[in-house]
Amino acid sequence: MSMDSSSSGTDVNIALLRGINVGGKNRLPMKKLAALFVEAGCEDVRTYIQSGNVVFRTGSAVGEEIASIISASILERYGYRVPVIVRTAGELEEIAQGNPFVRADAETEKLHVMFLAELPESAGVESLDPERSPGDEFAVLGREIYLHFPNGVARSKLTNSYFDSRLSTTSTTRNWRTVRKLLELAAGAGR
């Protein structure tokens, strides 16, 4: 059985919200976020850590529909725009398996994945400067950008703003530990 299906015929999806916090700007407790997904018709809704990671099952609505519904609900109820990017469990599994920076000697705490709302145009990808942040590496593969920050993420110039402006899209980033945990949660939701 694939990770995308369960016995009830629903698909397992992962929503990644950008800019959600439990305190300060764009405050949205995960319990309230989960309730928005339930109201949108999702089942088995689970959040992971306090930064807008949601694993859920849905039958008829596809990820893009859920993303629009949740984004509109947050705007209506809380007054701020929050990009919502959705991947299926199967897509997340492919993303995890396709990371070009995972190698025997790689320090996984230095790895991140940037999830893009849309597939970038090739001209935008070609405009990216591989020397923008010396020592850091990136690889654009489909709707993901794999990142390796050997000196840590804090000083890197490979930011969401940089990629969003060059690729004309919206992105949100997760560290490798979070990607792996979301994959584990999605596998459990598909049973």
Compute the C-alpha angle 153/172/146, nearest 5°. Answer: 60
The CATH code of domain 95-179 reads: 3.30.70
Q: What kind of fold does domain 11-93 have according to CATH?
A: Alpha-Beta Plaits (3.30.70)
SS3 162: helix
The pLDDT profile of the chain, 191 residues, written as one tens digit per residue, is 344 444 445 689 999 999 886 566 778 888 999 999 999 999 999 999 888 999 999 876 677 799 999 999 999 999 989 999 999 999 999 999 999 999 756 688 999 999 999 999 999 999 999 999 999 999 999 999 999 999 899 999 999 999 999 999 999 999 999 999 999 999 887 55
- Please give the order of strands across the beta sheet that includes 53-58: 43-48, 53-58, 11-17, 84-88
pTM (predicted TM-score): 0.90
Domain with CATH 3.30.70.1280 in the chain: 11-93
Residue located via tokens 């109201």: 39
